[in-house]
Amino acid sequence: MRYKKLGSSDLNVSMICLGSMTWGTQNTVAEGAEQIDMALDHGVNVIDTAEMYPTTPLSKETQGDTERVIGAWVKASGRRQDVMLATKVAGAGYANVRDGAPISPQTIKLAVEASLTSMATDYIDLYQLHWPNRGSYMFRQNWTYDPTHQNKEETLAHMYEVLLTLQELKNEGKIRAFGLSNESAWGTSQWIRMSEQHDLPRMVAIQNEYSLLCRMFDTDLSETVHNEDIGLLAFSPLAAGLLSGKYAPDVTPAGSRRSLNESLGGRINEHLWPALDAYRDIANRHGLDLCQMAIAWTLTRPFMASSIIGATSMDQLETILGAADLVLSDEVMAEIQATFRKHPMPY
């Protein structure tokens, strides 16, 4: 396992991060603990979660159960010191958490206390804002994105009061570092500018979707994080399981995410399958596991801090973890780039 300094923080994170959003619905408490133990045995040192998890499916009744799975492992194992915990506060409009209240000093404080209790810990290593109050173009919203409703003064005032709250929580020893999620290049730059202007906590990470099939991060955000010393935590590096190779237009394994979400969050359409077939062909011709190739490729990206993996079975997890040892040849990398030019935005 390779490790990388997370932005300007003092956290050295494994370049593969264990995702947790299936724990509490698709995976039991015992299965979640088993996954954590296997990941740590392979050198993983960070677990990513969120107060709104599990996501498969999302519900008010299960909200917070994933963090409680982690808490059960912490209590049973006594290994809190062996792992970094990253969690997130839910943003505006998500009705299952605080009836959709936006991120504010008040909601952050409530969320942090709840997460600390759920995860049976005194501190959170990385605390992330799950999505901006003003909205986001992530999750296929880029096709109709319109920021003209935004009020710049309100946005900047919100950032300032949030950073003041984060400073307070850091001073109390409850949070070590801070990050963004589903954020834009402009938004990220404003968070940094605000922290520098007022000597407040600096965002060290951004968690956005990134995979062979979703590469919006490659341009403006790539430039932003390079110049501002921020690390990407890539979610859905397997494109919600599409890059595992288990799906076809007429194939949906029982119990899979697609069996619970038919479109996989808007990823499935007529443009997807030719792109997926092209990447599968590269893997097959070079004797590679498609899943491992997809993860290993994300680890080659210069802005990558950690690629967030997830699995519902131990066999799946072991396969994915094997990507840490895979080095892709120049020929494979060239074919991946050529395929990207042919299929730049399949969803």
Report the catalytic residues: 53
Please report, for residues 158, 173, 242, 307, the alpha-carbon distance to residue 169 in angstroms, rounded to integers and kept in the order given: 17, 6, 39, 27
Q: CA 328 from chain center: how many Å?
A: 23
State the Cα–Cα distance between residues 257 and 11, nearest whole angstrom: 32
| CB contact burial 279-303 (16+ within 10 A = b; e otherwise) | beebbeeeebbbbbbbbbbbbebeb
**Smallest Cα–Cα separation from 58: which of 162, 133, 130, 145?**
130
| Dist CA 78 CA 293 (whole Å) | 34
Residue 7, CB-side half-sphere exposure with 13 Å CA sphere: 25
Helices 290-298/330-342 angle, 10° precision: 90
Beta-carbon contacts of residue 47 (< 8 Å; ≥ 6 apart): 17, 18, 19, 20, 36, 39, 70, 83, 84, 85, 86
Of 29, 48, 68, 339, the closest CA to residue 213 belongs to: 339
